[in-house]
Amino acid sequence: MKRIILLIFLANFLLSCKSQLNRKEAEYILDTVLEVSSKNRIKYNFIILTSMNVRDTAFYKNGKFGIGITIMDSKATDGLNYEKIYSYKGIPIVSQDSLKIFNSLLTPISYQNLNENSIKGLNYDPFNITLIFDKKSKLLYTFPENYENYFKKFNKN
């Protein structure tokens, strides 16, 4: 009896720990952000990808994990610390993807210096989109909010 209960508990635990997003969904998110940035004529040289579990349940009600995608211009970047660089469709990527959502899409490439800013103290506002999901991978919040329509078909009902 103990073994059956343990097996049920283990199966439940393993099923609840599945990857938050699959490869197709991660690719859709990245491609959509690139589409949005090109429509806004954002110049980019590289992308910073982040993902993490959400701990702020007061602000992000029902949020379980989030993704941040920042599009950067290397000529305005200074002081960015990174060790590895990846590529997605020829675009250099700095990955801080702690949930490993984008790992299957990224190819390691040789190190490049992405800190090309020669003017110290230059103020630069990069293009950033943040997405917050619930435990069923349903999109809850999009920041900035005016990009929400681009991700509507992503929601699973």
State the average pLDDT over residues 6-15. Answer: 43
Query: In the structure, what pLDDT confidence band is assigned to residue 100 with cuts at 50, 70 and 90?
Result: very high
For 139, left (φ over 0), alpha (ψ -120 to 50), or beta?
beta
pLDDT digits (tens, 9 = 90+) for 33-53: 988 888 877 776 899 999 998
Would the pLDDT of 155 be above 70? no
| Residue 134 identity | D
Q: What is the DSSP letter of 45?
A: S
Query: Look-up: residue for tokens 């103990």?
Result: 2
**Contact at 8 Å (CB) between 95 and 102?**
yes
Q: How many whole angstroms separate alpha carbon 87 and alpha carbon 33?
A: 16
pTM above 0.85, yes or no: no
Q: How far apart are CA 67 and CA 27, in angstroms?
A: 13
At 94 the pLDDT is 94
**Structure confidence at residue 152 (pLDDT):** 75
CA distances to 77, 84, 86, 91, 95 from 107, rounded to whole Å, are: 23, 11, 5, 10, 11
Answer yes or no: is pLDDT of 154 > 70.
no
